[in-house]
């Protein structure tokens, strides 16, 4: 039998980490030092599992780029020692963290699986145990040649494994909380875990490294019928803002009013990047398809194709943080760096 798999679990917080106190019955934070005592089933895997718990643990609504840097640094430090990583995280901003890490971890050849739950792990009907146990199994899964089956940043939730930077949280109550509309599911867990090998990244052979410079000077401008010039102008002219994700209609459409295009053009001329991302959860921006996006194309708005809002925001933070010249950033925004867009 091959060497026992070594898995590192990093617990950041979120609903999953709650168990019932055996005496009082109250929900309290899970003690990760005694992981196998809490979930004895995991001993049957025969993996070696270590854990790191954040102190304090956080509700993921308080997630911040500094925490992404901390996670990337832990993974870098422990990269050689472990075969895979499982990050326990609140579901609210999990898609942002997964997207950010996908850009920050370059040449990844090991699995980084984010999971969490809608009900605490200590509750009888919890979805947390299955999410956690299957994530461990996926993090340890290898091919015959010893390479990891899923060498990418993923979210595992409710029997489905997704490419992290393709997901969004779409339901606040259902156990099936995530969707990846524009990219196929990487694996489905039933009686067996069925991997969709065609859709999964191949392991990288270049040296693994992390990129930890993130620039948060990004804003989001969501269009709606009746949006005023004042609102558009205020967002585009926020002091220090370097890029604006513009959430447009349908296949990347926006009003054709002169004032609207004038505001955008002035901001772009000042050096602000305007990134066109559709408000639709499925499908792609196709600038030039309708008259209502021809003007955007002419003034230099950049197409986000089928990128999620989560991946758009974090990709911009990552590219701006790396201090690339603007033409390179614009080129990379239209290029799939980690499988986040279909061009
Ligand atoms: N508010 C929680 C969080 O995102 C919800 C969850 O854990 O799913 O941290």
* Best of 12, 15, 310 for a ligand 1 pocket test (most atoms within 8 Å of beta carbon): 15
3-state secondary structure of 212: coil
Tell me which residue has its CA closest to atom 3 in ligand 1: 90
Q: What is the pLDDT of residues 203-259, one digit of tens each?
A: 888 999 999 999 999 999 999 999 999 999 999 999 999 999 999 999 999 999 999
Q: Half-sphere exposure (CA, 13 Å, Cβ side) for 313?
A: 19
- 100 with 318: CB under 8 angstroms? yes
For residues 168 and 181, what is the distance between their CA atoms, to the nearest angstrom?
Answer: 9
Q: What is the pLDDT of residues 31-54, one digit of tens each?
A: 777 777 778 888 888 899 999 999
Distance 169 CA to ligand 1 centre (A): 11
92 lines ligand 1 (CB under 6 A): yes
Q: What is the pLDDT of residues 114-155, one digit of tens each?
A: 999 999 888 889 999 999 999 999 999 999 999 999 999 999
Q: Is 115 a catalytic residue?
A: no
Atom of ligand 1 nearest to the CA of 93: 4
Q: What is the pLDDT of residues 158-205, one digit of tens each?
A: 999 999 999 999 999 999 999 999 999 999 999 999 999 999 998 888
Domain edges within the chain: 6-210, 218-333
Q: What is the mean pLDDT of residues 297-315?
A: 97
Q: What is the mean pLDDT of residues 266-286?
A: 96
126 lines ligand 1 (CB under 6 A): no
Burial class (CB in 10 A: 0-12, 13-18, 19+), 1: exposed
Residue 161 φ/ψ, nearest 5 degrees = -110, 125
Could you name the CATH architecture of 6-210? 3-Layer(aba) Sandwich (3.40)
Strand partners, 266: none
65 lines ligand 1 (CB under 6 A): no
Q: What is the mean pLDDT of residues 60-69?
A: 96
Of 8-17, 164-173, 290-299, the least confident: 290-299
14 lines ligand 1 (CB under 6 A): yes
For residues 95 and 271, what is the distance between their CA atoms, to the nearest angstrom?
Answer: 28
3-state secondary structure of 187: strand
DSSP letters along 283-306, please?
A: S---TTSSHHHHHHHHHTPEE-TT
Burial class (CB in 10 A: 0-12, 13-18, 19+), 198: exposed
For residues 263 and 260, what is the distance between their CA atoms, to the nearest angstrom?
Answer: 5
C-alpha distances in Å from residue 38, one per residue of 29, 129, 202, 343: 12, 10, 35, 45
For 218-333, CATH number out of 3.40.50.720, 3.40.50.40, 3.40.350.10, 3.30.70.1350 equals 3.40.50.40
Contacts (Cβ under 8 Å, ≥6 apart) of 231: none
pTM: 0.95
pLDDT band at 1 (very low <50, low <70, confident <90, very high): very low
Contacts (Cβ under 8 Å, ≥6 apart) of 300: 265, 268, 274
60 lines ligand 1 (CB under 6 A): yes
Tell me which residue has its CA closest to atom 5 in ligand 1: 90
Distance 256 CA to ligand 1 centre (A): 40
DSSP letters along 213-275, please?
A: -----EEEEE--TT--HHHHHHHHT-TT--EEEEEEBTTTB----HHHHHHHHHHHHHT-EEE
Q: What is the rounded (10 degree) CA torsion for 69, 71, 77, 79?
A: -120
Residue 257 φ/ψ, nearest 5 degrees = -55, 145
304 lines ligand 1 (CB under 6 A): no
The predicted pLDDT at position 2 comes to 57
Q: What is the mean pLDDT of residues 63-85?
A: 98
**Tokens 């091959």 — which residue?**
2
Distance 15 CA to ligand 1 centre (A): 5
For residues 307 and 310, what is the distance between their CA atoms, to the nearest angstrom?
Answer: 8
Q: What is the pLDDT of residues 17-30, one digit of tens each?
A: 887 777 887 777 77
């Amino acid at each position: 039998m091959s060497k026992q798999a070594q898995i590192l679990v990093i617990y950041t917080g979120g609903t999953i980490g709650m168990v019932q106190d055996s005496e009082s019955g109250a929900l309290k934070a899970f003690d990760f030092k005694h992981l196998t005592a809490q979930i004895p089933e995991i001993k049957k895997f025969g993996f070696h599992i270590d854990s790191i718990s954040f102190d304090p643990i956080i509700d993921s609504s308080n997630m911040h780029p500094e925490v992404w840097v901390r996670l990337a640094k832990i993974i870098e430090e422990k990269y050689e020692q472990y075969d895979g990583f499982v990050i326990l995280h609140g579901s609210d901003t999990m898609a942002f963290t997964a997207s950010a890490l996908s850009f920050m971890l370059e040449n990844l050849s090991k699995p980084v699986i984010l999971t969490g739950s809608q009900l605490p792990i200590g509750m009888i009907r919890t979805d947390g145990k299955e999410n956690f146990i299957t994530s461990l199994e996926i993090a340890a899964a290898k091919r015959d040649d010893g390479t990891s089956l899923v060498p990418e940043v993923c979210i595992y939730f409710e029997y489905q494994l997704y490419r992290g930077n393709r997901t969004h949280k779409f339901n606040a109550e259902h156990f099936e909380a995530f969707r990846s509309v524009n990219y196929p599911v990487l694996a489905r867990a039933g009686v067996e875990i069925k991997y969709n090998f065609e859709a999964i990244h191949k392991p990288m052979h270049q040296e693994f490294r992390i990129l930890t410079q993130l620039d948060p000077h990004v804003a989001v401008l969501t269009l709606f019928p009746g949006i005023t010039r004042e609102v558009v102008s205020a967002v585009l002219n926020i002091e220090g803002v370097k890029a604006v994700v513009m959430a447009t209609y349908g296949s990347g459409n926006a009003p054709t009013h002169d004032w609207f295009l004038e505001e955008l053009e002035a901001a772009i001329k000042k050096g602000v990047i305007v990134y066109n991302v559709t408000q639709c959860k499925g499908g792609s921006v196709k600038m030039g398809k309708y008259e209502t996006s021809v003007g955007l194309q002419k003034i230099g708005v950049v197409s986000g194709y089928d990128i999620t809002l989560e991946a758009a925001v974090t990709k911009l933070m990552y590219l701006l943080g790396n201090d690339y010249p603007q033409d390179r950033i614009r080129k990379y925004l239209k290029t799939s760096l980690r499988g986040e867009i279909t061009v």
